[in-house]
A and B are shown apart, each in its own frame.
Chain A
Amino acid sequence: MYVAVKGGERAIDAAHEWLAEERRGDASVPELSLAQIREQMSLAVNRVMAEGSLYDPDLAALAIKQARGDLIEAIFLIRAYRTTLPRIGHSRAVDTGAMRCDRRISATFKDAPGGQVLGPTFDYTHRLLDFKLAAEAGTPSAREADPLAPEVPRITEFLNKDGLIQDEVRSEDTPPDMTRQPMEYPANRALRLQALTRGDEGFVLGMAYSTQRGYGRNHPFVGELRIGAVEVEMEIPELGFDICIGEVVLTECETVNQFAGSKTEPPQFTRGYGLVFGQTERKAIAMALVDRALRWEELGEENVGAPAQDEEFVLAHSDNIQATGFLEHIKLPHYVDFQSELELVRKMRKGALDAMKEAAE
């Protein structure tokens, strides 16, 4: 039960003032600029864009500053802002095959055509704190080499040629949009992918990890992981043709999963797919694993009752803004609800105590 409570305006104003002061921190320390956050906290910016479901690095940087670095709060701010934007339209499906890759690796083929390109990765760092960064590190500069051929073929296409991997059937169907229609279960794969790509990184990671530990195991290999920029094209009705409206950095992960075959399908590899805004590698891999786990039914696999196989469980709990909203609302005034609970417990206690007394007599 919700009852409007009035009062506390002055306390709230004072809390906001103090929040602003605390956000700024020690005034003798220079204030962060949005450009600093955007350029130097870029992976936080990427996460806010991915889960805020809005690609705009400057806005994400602002949200992070306003939220004092609380990324879920920042995502909340972006989601709220997003709802104020008129929807101009939708893009053509981006062509990740034409991505200008900063990074592109395969765990399945050492000599993948196009090469193994590490990009700016943490992978081979020693995870030792670098105290040089505690002082100002200056402006590092990376070495360069002659650019590689721009076309980087997809690993899964090689397997596909031999029929060793399940085919993705190309279509131009209009996908459902969970930001416009309420979720309905069962969801199709397009809707699941939309929910996963904006889902909480920690939640999707946990679900993916659970499949690796045996709760719905699906034997994944990272067939290919690529990070880079793709152009976004949109059809402009008044012009009658498509134009490029900008460029986004995406992380794409395709997993290749073992599949023993079913009544209708011979043994072959199957796929899990992850595609996320920004350089968001952990999330993209996790998304691919969860996507694959949720496909048990269409592939004729057994439902072993693993959490990651339960579509409604995964999709209904993956959104950190929904989750935090419901979780945190219980700290707000519930005085009336609690009063009624209190009365109920008192009454039940009295009944129980009376009964005990009677039994003792």
Chain B
Amino acid sequence: MRDDVLSGGFADTPVEAARAFRAALEAMARPGSIHRVEGARAPAPVSEAAAVLLLTLCDRETPLYLAPGHDVAPVRDWVAFHIGAPLVGASEAMFALGGWQALAPLDAYRIGTPDYPDRAVTLIAELVNLAPEGARLSGPGIRETARLSLPEVAAFQRNHHLFPLGWDAFFTCGDRLAALPRTSVVEAG
């Protein structure tokens, strides 16, 4: 294992993980809101925000899928040391990390079961641009409407129709993140 993959974890885990968890929670509870996070550094091409999410949400019991582009040796080793999440294929994953295109096809992921709708994947999609513009969001956690630069609209509409099943998604870009749960209604901006 290369020595450089051993660094980049939280320096003060309880405090930093709690802050990051709060940010992730806020993002998911208020779809479209954008939050800045810090404290983690993973090998390229993982963004700082995605590294923070992985450290905060994943552990040895959350199977992780690395999509093409993110599925590289330094990232695998970094995950092994800092998180220990088993690396699996898309259909077994509880979390999936990659660029939006690389994460496709979306019907490969788990969407939960009627008894356990929570047994669904959470996607972490790395975007080149993350801004409060573009697609119009409404639904729980949103006062009237919000806007978010989603990479597309159709996939989120299809996912919303599966409710209470379906996946949830985080979007990361540099040190910023936003989220879109399956409850949100998405319309083209």
Contact = CB atoms under 8 A, between A and B. Distances in A.
A261 to B, nearest CB: 40
Contacts of A86: 59
Contacts, number: 19
A87 B1 contact: no
A237 B84 contact: yes
A87 B80 contact: no
B59 A238 contact: no
A87 B61 CA distance: 8
Contacts of A32: none
Chain B: number of interface residues, binned into ranges: under 10
A89 B86 CA distance: 11
B60 A240 contact: no
Interface in A227-246: 237-240
Interface in B1-47: 1, 6
A291 B117 CA distance: 34
B59 A87 contact: yes
Interface residues of A, number: 9
A240 B2 CA distance: 12
A88 interface: yes
A88 B60 CA distance: 7
Interface in A164-182: 180
B60 A238 contact: no
Interface string B53-64: 000000111000
Contact of A180 (B61, B77, B81): B61
A184 to B, nearest CB: 10
Nearest to A174: B86
Interface string A165-203: 000000000000000100000000000000000000000
Contacts of B77: 238
Contacts of B81: 237-238
Given A87-B61, A238-B6, A238-B77, 16 more contacts: A86-B59, A87-B59, A87-B60, A88-B60, A88-B84, A89-B60, A89-B84, A180-B61, A237-B80, A237-B81, A237-B84, A238-B1, A238-B80, A238-B81, A239-B1, A240-B1
| 8 A-B pairs with least C-beta separation | A237-B80, A238-B81, A89-B60, A238-B1, A87-B60, A237-B84, A238-B80, A87-B61
19 contacts: A86-B59, A87-B59, A87-B60, A87-B61, A88-B60, A88-B84, A89-B60, A89-B84, A180-B61, A237-B80, A237-B81, A237-B84, A238-B1, A238-B6, A238-B77, A238-B80, A238-B81, A239-B1, A240-B1
Interface of A: 86-89, 180, 237-240
